[in-house]
């Protein structure tokens, strides 16, 4: 199903403007890191809010260039990112 597909991802590239919400929590629960770029609307800051409770799995960019750079860095370093996330543990789905 959906979660088994999500577990096969290296990173979740959060959408600009309207961040993932349930999908982002599912990604963290599945130990998939998130790269996000917050906007000035509440629906665009969900990913950044998740970073407060799960700092080893959410990377918050300040610009589009930094967003792309963070995505590339997470992909290039996916083994060390996976280790950090497994030590932190996934978030509860409840």
Q: What is the pLDDT of residues 36-46, one digit of tens each?
A: 898 888 788 88
The reported pLDDT for the residue numbered 85 is: 65
DSSP string, 39-51: -SSGGGSHHHHHH
The reported pLDDT for the residue numbered 69 is: 93
Longest dimension (CA), the chain: 34
Whole-structure pTM value = 0.79
Q: Which residue has the tokens 């930094």?
A: 66
């Amino acid at each position: 199903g959906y979660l088994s597909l999500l577990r096969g991802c290296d990173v979740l590239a959060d959408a600009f403007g309207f961040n993932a919400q349930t999908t982002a929590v599912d990604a963290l629960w599945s130990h998939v890191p998130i790269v996000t770029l917050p906007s000035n609307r509440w629906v665009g800051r969900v990913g950044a809010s998740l970073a407060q409770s799960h700092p080893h799995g959410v990377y918050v960019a300040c610009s589009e260039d930094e967003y792309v750079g963070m995505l590339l860095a997470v992909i290039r370093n996916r083994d060390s990112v996976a280790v950090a996330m497994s030590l932190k543990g996934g978030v509860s789905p409840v």
